Amino acid sequence: MATRRGYQMGRWLAGRLMKELGLVSCQQPTHRYKRGGHEHVAIPNYLEGSSP
């Protein structure tokens, strides 16, 4: 709205003004995947030391 009327502002100023006016963005937040656990399976090296 402000840029359409000729005002230039960055996202920080826009966010601060929205906070003062009690406005909330209706944009959906980006989806973040859950970080899985650190599962590391120890596999023995059966070929180690068996070279001719």
Q: Which amino acid is at 47?
A: L
Per-residue pLDDT of 12-46, as tens digits, reads 998 999 999 999 988 887 888 887 777 788 888 88
pLDDT for the residue 19: 93
- What pLDDT digit, counting tens, does each position of 37-52 carry? 777 888 888 888 776 6
State the DSSP string of 1-25: -TTTTT----HHHHHHHHHHHT---
Residue extents of the structural domains in the chain: 1-25
Kindly report the CA angle at 34 between 30 and 37, in degrees rounded to 5?
Answer: 160
